[in-house]
């Protein structure tokens, strides 16, 4: 019997899923595949200059959209396009994000601001454009992507960690605020997931020249690619796990998944001196200059 037992929804009953940050090699690319495999109609989006990176995704089930999450007009246009084509948006995966590595005492504020604009306000911008539509239908699910480092921030990534910690705070507030309208909010906390995120982080880091932290240059570079070790979880595994949970009858409030999530759970609940000692040793900050 096998596949004959799989119930596929009629075309008009298919879930419409909007995913941000979907260039090839990233986790968003895998989210699109995972939801398409579950018979959803998927709108994959990324920056205008990266549309060719999504060509392998395109099919009857997956359509590409240009979206810059730092632009109100761009997000509004994408949401309007999807609603005109499908009449609804059932699920939003707020996946778009950028790395931001370096010592906070020396990082240019423009770089910190960009991380917050994309990683934090970018997610809220999408929420503000889809929430009224979902609320009018008394149905929908907003999935915000945080990170375990938003719970236990690491040295050399304070800018990125704080942008994700803010996503956590916003998601917990949104979950309660949108409940009266029948809209679910799910917070995803990935661990170390294998993707092109580490190489992008190293590439962005190459533009910086540290003065105060010149002696820590190697350690800072190591942090940029720390999530991409041999034991990092496959992005497809994360995406399929999230799709399964989000499309269930009662989506969870939070999904924690991937390599190193156990370690970060311990660090989150540990006394601060334990956390400081661990990170000081791990990132070579246990020496006096």
The residues assigned a catalytic role are 160, 164
**Both tokens assigned to 162:** 């704080």
Other CB atoms closer than 10 Å to residue 49's CB: what's the count?
10
Q: Phi then psi for 213, rounded to 5 degrees?
A: -110, 30
The beta strands (E) that lie in the chain are given as: 16-19, 41-46, 62-66, 91-94, 140-145, 183-190, 193-194, 233-234, 254-257
Other CB atoms closer than 10 Å to residue 165's CB: what's the count?
19
Beta bridge partners of residue 254, listed in sequence order: 187
Calpha distance 183→136 (Å, rounded): 10
Q: What angle do CA 240, 245, 249 make, to 5 degrees?
A: 140
**Both tokens assigned to 51:** 């549309």
| Of 213, 74, 201, the residue nearest 149 (C-alpha) | 201
């Amino acid at each position: 019997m096998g596949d004959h037992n799989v119930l596929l929804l009629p075309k008009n009953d298919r879930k419409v899923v909007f995913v941000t940050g979907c260039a090839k090699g990233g986790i968003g690319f895998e989210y699109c595949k995972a939801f398409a495999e579950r018979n959803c109609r998927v709108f994959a989006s990324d920056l205008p200059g990266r549309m060719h990176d999504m060509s392998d995704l395109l099919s009857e089930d997956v359509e590409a959209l240009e979206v810059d999450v730092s632009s109100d007009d761009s997000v509004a246009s994408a949401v309007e396009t999807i609603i005109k084509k499908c009449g609804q948006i059932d699920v939003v995966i707020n996946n778009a994000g950028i790395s931001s590595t370096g010592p906070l005492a020396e990082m240019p504020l423009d770089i910190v601001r960009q991380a917050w604009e994309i990683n934090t306000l970018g997610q809220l911008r999408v929420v503000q454009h889809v929430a009224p539509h979902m609320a009018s239908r008394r149905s929908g699910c907003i999935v915000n992507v945080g990170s375990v480092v938003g719970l236990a921030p690491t040295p050399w990534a304070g800018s990125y960690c704080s942008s994700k910690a803010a996503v956590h705070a916003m998601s917990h507030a949104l979950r309660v605020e949108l409940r009266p309208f029948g809209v679910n909010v799910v917070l995803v906390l990935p661990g170390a997931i294998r993707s092109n995120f580490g190489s992008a982080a190293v590439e962005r880091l190459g533009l910086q020249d540290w003065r105060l932290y010149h002696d820590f240059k190697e350690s800072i570079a190591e942090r940029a690619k720390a999530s991409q070790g041999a034991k990092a979880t496959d992005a497809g595994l994360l995406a399929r796990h999230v799709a399964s949970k989000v499309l269930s009858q009662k989506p969870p409030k939070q999904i924690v998944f991937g390599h190193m999530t156990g370690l970060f759970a311990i660090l989150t609940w540990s006394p601060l001196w334990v956390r400081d000692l661990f990170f000081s040793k791990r990132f070579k900050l246990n020496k006096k200059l």
